[in-house]
Amino acid sequence: MWLPPFGDGGDEAVRGLRRTRSALTLRPTGVYSESNDPERTLPLPPPGRHEFFALPSASGSRELLALDAEQGVLHLWLTAAGRWAALEQVDGGFLADSPLPHEAWRCEVARDTTGLRLFLPTSHGIACLQLDWLRLGYHVDYIGDDVCCGAPILWREEIWAVLRDARGGVRLQAATAASGLAGGTLEVTGVEAEERFAAPVCVRRQVIWPGVRGRLVLEVQANGSLAAHYRPWPAGVSSKFGFGAPYLAREGQLWQACWSEHDESHAYLRLDGRDLEQRLASAPRLCTGQINYRLAARMKLPPWDDPEHGSDADSRALFIPILESAVDAGVLGVRIDTTNGLEATLESGERVRAVVELHSDRRLETRLYTLNVSTPWQGRAFVYDNALWFYHPELKSVVGWELEQ
């Protein structure tokens, strides 16, 4: 099963990072080059920006779904017919759209004897969607009604998301994963109207929605009850979501990339602690979870530790990681040759030439495909039918490569 945007997360102690429990090892007999055609292709779904699901159907086969969350449109890949078919809401109506930006979107799935439930962030609360494979449709109920401003995440057998009402009030809304029914709510005070949340992450005792100005935390108290707090960053500190996921240290701590005006420096603030521990960094790193990159170099050091040797002065390339495997430490991303610098490149909306690359733990680089699109790092990678796929809405097709079995 593949749950967008980064796989199902498995039963890891930490969820919400840009990591998958699928291995990203290609067939050893494959011949790969940036100038070669991909081994496999799929037609693009209808125009939009899509997220891809590989889910088991009632018959046990794996089916591929494409969701345009911004428009609330769902399509199913019909393998025998070689085309995408639109899924319709069985009882009429349309799936509500998602108000979340591309980089903050995520969803959850739960399965029981009645089938699968998808929990999606929408402008009408948490959508609990059940697929009806035989009728090429789905049923959907909404939990919470208000606008979802923080994506859902599975924690302690419940799905939690952040909702904002018409008056600007913020609350946490729960849904029971097993039944899809509404759970409890927790009001949160002190959240500014302009606050914007990134995708959530969770550890065993906490869920954290990192915000630009602070963090919204749901945690277990000593007596077993739940409490929600909004904890602002220190004055002059703001999050930098463009650098990827929070960094997961070997000790299990989570660190958010920030900018500190007071120090005039990049900084990392600890997300999962009560105290605001801070580490200053000489340069930002791009991160998917446990693996981070300094420009185009894969690093084994934490983002705030500089390598003993080497200099960035002569670097002419950036490697922007998209997906990291928790199984084989493979990383899929895009390499861009540029002298504009990291932040200028990430903020640019111009078309750029990029190469899709797969990196192994042995630092081997496999160049797979060349593309010329805007923001290639916003492409999505997914695993389906024993292949690794790469999608970007400006490409002519979804491109893929066979994985080692």
Quick one: three-class SS letters along 154-198? Answer: EECCEEEEEEECCCCCEEEEEEECCCCCEEEEEEECCCCCCCCEC
pLDDT tens for the 405 residues of the chain, in order: 999 999 976 667 899 999 999 999 999 888 999 999 999 999 999 999 999 999 998 777 899 999 999 999 999 999 999 999 999 999 888 999 999 999 999 999 998 777 899 999 999 999 999 999 999 999 999 999 999 999 999 999 999 999 999 999 999 999 999 899 999 999 999 999 999 999 999 999 999 999 999 999 999 999 999 999 999 999 999 999 999 999 999 999 999 999 999 999 999 999 998 888 999 999 999 999 999 999 999 998 999 999 876 556 457 899 999 999 999 999 999 999 998 889 999 999 899 999 999 998 876 899 999 999 999 999 999 999 999 999 999 999 999 999 998
**What was the pLDDT predicted at 184?**
96
**What was the pLDDT predicted at 169?**
96
**What was the pLDDT predicted at 61?**
87
- In order, the DSSP letters of 85-133 are EE-EETTSS-PPPP-S-GGG---EEEEETTEEEEEEEETTEEEEEEEET
Dist. CA 299–CA 297, nearest whole Å: 6
CA max distance for the chain = 63
Structure tokens at 61: 């086969």
**What was the pLDDT predicted at 115?**
81
**What was the pLDDT predicted at 114?**
74
Residues 6 or more apart whose CB falls under 8 angstroms from that of 322 comprise 18, 288, 332, 333, 334, 377, 379, 380, 381
**What was the pLDDT predicted at 113?**
72
**What was the pLDDT predicted at 363?**
66
Give this prediction's pTM.
Answer: 0.95
- In order, the DSSP letters of 220-249 are E-TTS-EEEEEEEPPTTEEE-GGGBSPEE-
Cβ atoms within 10 A of the Cβ of 287, count? 25
Whose structure tokens read 């703001």?
238
